[in-house]
Amino acid sequence: MKLDIAVLSGDGIGPEVTAQAIKALEAIAHNFDHSFIFKEGLVGAIAIDKTGNPLPDETLKLCVDTDAVLFGAIGAPKYDNDPSAPVRPEQGLLKLRKELGLYANIRPVKAYPTLIDKSPLKREIIEGTDISIYRELTGGIYFGKKELSDNGNVASDLCEYSREEIERIAHLAFKAAQNRRKKVTLVDKANVLESSRLWRKVVTEIASEYSDVTLDFLFVDNAAMQMILNPSQFDVILTENMFGDIISDEASVIGGSIGLLASASVGDTCCMFEPIHGSFPQATGKGIANPIAAILSAAMLLEHFNLIGEANAIKDAVEKALELNITTPDLNANNPLTTEKVGDFIADYILNPEDSNINFENIHVGQSTII
Ligand code: IPM
Ligand code: MG
């Protein structure tokens, strides 16, 4: 298969982790005889610095013209600490999601058996956790009308949803559940919010088309509690934009590091793949960022194009790295490897799984050579 892939590595640790994802994809292309062409574009704070715009038109065009987008991270402290900044890096990401019509953000959360003792949560609580979060990504409070009164003392953000916006992601969530453990949990705040009551009504109607899937409901405050009390009860979680943002960061502690969580954002015509961690500015250039979320995002890209064997080859290599403790300091305080070395190991393992033990030795002395 030939795929043109836009690479928007963005800010902070974005470029270094994205480079590892590209290495993994190059190894896949080599082994499975595909052709992946990578085309870089500017986004985020670095794009503001260079062009004044967090999403230059050229970048948007690149994303529209390619088959998929591989995204790194955006954000920089100089903007976080300045609420009155006229342009913000995040606007680039939000505009990209909206313009590409990426209405469904899929965030898998898994407790890897080899990492169970690294999670701050107890083994018996997280064992067996395997969740797929379906977060609505182009509506709700993120995109509703924003107002600030003339005197600057009153502000509001509108949370608006239409039936159509709810239906299209709900169908994706139910279809996903049909191939999993056949349960969808709608997370909302229907005891308070009108928009949540519309979600319940529409999702309940759609559930009747998927009679093999069970639908249940949780208020978001309770869901936040259940996520750390009993996460293995969840299969597919379906939720609106802001609740999904919050719940997915919370869920990331289950796996032991936010540096493991990948995501796919899909719409009717475009798709984008990104680690859910942010730009982690303090770590930039130090080689301590975990590249696994970015690498697993590349696996989600392959899955999206139905390259299942290829995606599994990446996942197997990641599991091997975790098993052998070939990991960055977030997971390996005593004998950590750098971002690049973890990426080297994973790419090497994809190319040549039998040779992994030799590579393991080499990795530690910095002699990994393949690619
Ligand atoms: C995420 C991030 C973004 C969001 C930010 C960077 C705008 O937190 O992808 O979860 O809130 O959606
Ligand atoms: Mg977030």
Ligand number nearest CA of 241 is: 1
Q: Which atom of ligand 1 is nearest to the CA of 74?
A: 6
Q: What is the largest CA-CA distance in the chain?
A: 67
Q: Which domains does the chain have, with CATH numbers?
A: 1-102+267-371 (3.40.718.10), 104-264 (3.40.718.10)
Mean pLDDT over 297-313 rounds to 98
- Average pLDDT across the chain, whole number: 94
Ligand 2 centroid to 249 CA: how many Å?
A: 6
Cβ neighbours, 10 Å, residue 211: 7
CA distances from 351 to 296, 306, 321, 342 (A): 16, 20, 14, 14
Is residue 202 within 8 Å of residue 173, measured between CB atoms?
no
The residue whose two tokens read 């919370």 is 250
Ligand 1 centroid to 231 CA: how many Å?
A: 22
pLDDT given at position 357: 55
Q: Which atom of ligand 1 is nearest to the CA of 105?
A: 9
Cα 171 to Cα 360: distance, rounded to the nearest angstrom: 43
Q: Does 358 score more than 70 pLDDT?
A: no
90 touches ligand 1 (CB under 6 Å)? yes
Cα 180 to Cα 176: distance, rounded to the nearest angstrom: 7
Q: Which atom of ligand 1 is nearest to the CA of 93?
A: 7
Nearest CA to 161 out of 136, 186, 184, 185 is that of 136
Mean pLDDT over 226-231 rounds to 97
What residue's CA is closest to ligand 1, atom 10?
245
Q: Does 363 score more than 70 pLDDT?
A: no
Nearest CA to 331 out of 284, 360, 300, 291 is that of 291
Catalytic residues: 142, 189, 221, 245, 249
Using 50, 70 and 90 to split pLDDT, how confident is the model at 85? confident
Cα 62 to Cα 79: distance, rounded to the nearest angstrom: 26
68 touches ligand 1 (CB under 6 Å)? no
User: What DSSP line would sit under 290-335, residue for residue?
Assistant: --HHHHHHHHHHHHHTT-HHHHHHHHHHHHHHHHTT---TTT-SSS
Ligand number nearest CA of 73 is: 1
Cβ neighbours, 10 Å, residue 105: 24
Is residue 268 within 8 Å of residue 165, measured between CB atoms?
no
Cα-flanking dihedrals φ and ψ of residue 281, to 5°? -55, -35
> Among 93, 94, 103, 274, which is best to mutate for testing ligand 1, by the most ligand atoms less than 8 A from CB?
93
Q: Does 362 score more than 80 pLDDT?
A: no
Cα 218 to Cα 220: distance, rounded to the nearest angstrom: 6
pLDDT given at position 368: 47
Using 50, 70 and 90 to split pLDDT, how confident is the model at 73? very high
250 touches ligand 1 (CB under 6 Å)? no
Q: How many CA atoms lie within 13 A of 63 on its CB side?
A: 31
The residue whose two tokens read 């082994």 is 31
Query: Per residue in 172-183, pLDDT tens?
Result: 999 999 999 999
What residue's CA is closest to ligand 1, atom 9?
276
Query: Per residue in 201-213, pLDDT tens?
Result: 999 999 999 999 9
> Among 8, 43, 90, 136, which is best to mutate for testing ligand 1, by the most ligand atoms less than 8 A from CB?
90
Is residue 169 within 8 Å of residue 134, measured between CB atoms?
yes
Cα 9 to Cα 14: distance, rounded to the nearest angstrom: 5
Q: Which atom of ligand 1 is nearest to the CA of 94?
A: 7
Higher pLDDT pick, 364 / 123: 123
Ligand 2 centroid to 197 CA: how many Å?
A: 24
pLDDT given at position 367: 47
Ligand number nearest CA of 278 is: 1
Q: Three-state DSSP class for 263?
A: strand
Cα 68 to Cα 139: distance, rounded to the nearest angstrom: 22
